[in-house]
Structure 1
Amino acid sequence: MFRPLAFALAVVAGLPAVAETRAQTRAPTAASCAGNPNALGTARVIEVEAQSTPRVGRKHFPGTLPLAPQEIVLTFDDGPWPTTTPRVLDALKRECVRATFFLLGQHAEETPALARRIFAEGHTVAHHTYSHKILTRLPIAVAEAEINRGIEEDDYAVYGQRRKDPATPFFRFPGFAGTPALLDLLNRRGIVVFGADVWASDWNPMSPQDELKLIVGRIEKNRGGIVLFHDTKAQTAAMLPDFLREMKRRGYRVVHVVPAGSRGAIR
């Protein structure tokens, strides 16, 4: 369940510096989307690293990714979930769109094949703790252990190796609840912390039609940004095909975010 909590942050304002990867030509563009000539596609790929871009998302931090107007980064939290994540992946694949999935280690541990499918289909596998504990309520050592266990189980499910230094150093706090000490710890470890610019509020019960109207309105008001969904929500899975088509109709472009230096891993 989502619990918005305020951060006590001291962050330098301004747009972070990121590099656009040369491998963007490998992204599934609308023109190259097999079987769907009218697909939304993935417009470009950008690389992000913690030294220049430690924290992104204007809902929580002063800066965000340097996106042009009408560019969106799609992110999904709390998966993988057996009944809904496949539907989300099917919708993304149909439109040749790539996204970032912030996995819970417990769910990756329970459904490793689904975690591997996320990676195999070209999406970025990122981290969201092991069991969605609100980390501001825990001693820092316990909070770090929860982060580490999530990373280890995610990477074991996807790559067959447990490690505290993640293959993809992207992290999002459950409930967006972090502390300056945890932010500093993650920065020292080279892990980028993601907030969001726009969210669908899909932790609240609503119909797919109501969610579509809500998120499209918020994206239009913000003119794009990092968008937060939950691939564990049936309403989101049901809404997503219509959402992607609506983004295409309105002239929005999808940007895929990857770690710096991962050009060779982009499929």
Structure 2
Amino acid sequence: MVTRSRTVLAALVLLGSVGDAAAAEPPSAQGPAQSCHNPDALGVSRTIEVGGAPELGLKTYPRTLDLRDHEVVLTFDDGPWGPTTPDVLAALAAQCVKATFFLIGRNAQAHPELVRREVAEGHTVGHHTFDHPGVTLRNMSAEAGIEDIEHGMRVDDRAAGDEPWTGTPRVPFFRYPGFGDSPGSLAWLKARGVAVFGADLWASDWIPMTPDAELDLLMGRLRGAGRGIILLHDIKRQTADMLPRFLSALKAEGFHVVRIVPGGTATPTRDAPAGWSSETDRTLAHLWPKARAEIRAEARPVAPRAAAPAGDAAAGLKPSVE
């Protein structure tokens, strides 16, 4: 049973070059996408190499990837998860689309076969801490946060088949749980050349809704934004069921999927519009004092981890729709 404090803390999720040189290419030109046998597939329009350890995503940072109009990057958090991740991978494969998966270490440890499948199918596999703490790393000590980050990277890479751990992740991409970063952990990541990803828009798939409602919500937001890094969760059944129609809608409305991979050079970015402010900062400033008071008042044991997939989307929150 999710306590009141965990429900509040879970709401933190709401916070929630090759790229320039490569003109739009047919799916068959994109490496692993050569195996696609669907001539009408959405595919991957181009690949962007991300290097230089940037901090990206307008929900948290004042810059994002320099995407063209009607370009999107698909990202999935909190997996892998046995009941849903295979369906997400099947939907992506049917449309020859590549995505980025930010893994929770203990889920990767439980499902290494799915991590290896993601890698084998040409997806980018990044990191999302080992334990996805109930509070964000912003409210932990730098030492504890860094330990959780590095532990997750080590376990993710082991699940992907990389041994031994060298101290550097195979894919230097990271996303903070709830987008709650901290100066100490940001400095640690930058020193190791790790890019930090927020998001530009989200599917709000932590809110229980039908796949049809999620599709309408996401496409409405995407039409308004015109482009961006999209946050979804591959542990959510409604998202797995929605995804085939979402990919079809992207193609029908002229959107193009961009694949992101690690690269050695600084990545071109697009600055936030005038008057920008961090939605992460605003939300955390509002939620954390209340959550901290509830934590002090409720000294209840945490539910067994095996009961549900780790992550924001498993915590049962019901925030208002953006």
Q: Helix, strand or coil for the counterpart of 1:64?
A: strand
Match of 2:241 in 1: 238
Cross-structure match for 1:12: none
Which stretches in structure 2 are left out of the alignment for 5+ residues?
Answer: 1-9, 266-322
Residue 2 of structure 1 deviates from its aligned partner by 4.4
> Is 1:197 aligned to 2:200, yes or no?
yes
Equivalent position amino acid for 2:147 in 1: A
2:207 aligned counterpart, secondary structure: coil
Provide the TM-score with structure 1 as the length reference. 0.87
In structure 2, the residue matched to 1:184 is 187
- Higher helix fraction: Structure 1 or Structure 2? 2
SS at match of 1:47: strand
1:89 aligns with 2:89: yes
Task: Flag structure 1 segments of 5+ consecutive residues without an equivalent.
Answer: 7-17, 263-267
Alpha-carbon shift at residue 38 of structure 1 (Å): 1.4
Q: Which runs of 4+ in 1 moved over 3 A?
A: 32-35
| TM superposition shift of 1:5 | 7.8
| Deviation at residue 35 of structure 1 after TM alignment | 3.6
Provide TM-score, normalisation by structure 2.
0.73
Partner residue in 2 for 1:37: 39
Q: How many residues align structurally?
A: 247
Shift of 1:131: 1.1
SS in 2 for 1:259: strand
Matches of 1:239 and 1:98, distance apart in 2: 17
Inter-CA distance 4–114: structure 2 relative to 1 (3 Å threshold): closer
CA contact (8 A) 2:14 2:178 kept: yes
User: Within the alignment, does 1:3 sit opposite 2:12 as a pair?
Assistant: yes
Structure 1 residue 222 and structure 2 residue 222: aligned?
A: no
Cα shift at 1:26: 2.7
- Give the RMSD, CA atoms, in angstroms: 2.0
In structure 2, the CA distance between the partners of 1:218 and 1:252, relative to structure 1 (3 Å rule), is same
Of residues 173, 176, 179, the one that matches 2:176 is 173
Counterparts in 2 of 1:1-267, with a 5 A limit?
A: 1-4=10-13, 18-20=17-19, 25-27=29-31, 34-51=36-53, 54-133=54-133, 134-161=136-163, 162-261=165-264
Contact 2:212 2:242 in 1 (8 A): yes
Kept in 2: contact 1:124–1:258 (CA 8 A): yes
SS at match of 2:49: strand
TM-aligned CA distance change 1:139 to 1:239, over 3 Å: same
Larger Rg: 2
Partner Cα separation in structure 2 for residue 148 and residue 84 of structure 1:
26
Q: CA deviation at 1:55?
A: 0.7
Structure 1 position 160, deviation (Å): 3.3
Question: Contact 2:203 / 2:218 at 8 angstroms: preserved in 1?
Answer: yes
Secondary structure at the aligned position of 1:145 is classed as helix
The answer as to whether partners of 1:27 and 1:42 remain within 8 angstroms in 2 is no
- Percent identity, aligned pairs only, is 47
Alpha-carbon distance change, 28 to 121 in structure 1, aligned in 2, over 3 angstroms = closer
Distance (Å, rounded) in 2 between the aligned partners of 1:261 and 1:62: 22
User: Could you give the per-residue CA deviations for residues 33-74 of structure 1, whole angstroms, max 9, x where no partner exists?
Assistant: 7442211100000100135xx111111111100100000000
- How many angstroms does 1:230 deviate by? 0.2
Residue 261 (structure 1) shift: 4.8
Give the residue type in structure 2 aligned to 1:70.
H
What do the CA deviations read for 1:182-203 (whole angstroms, capped 9, x no partner)?
2222111110000000100111
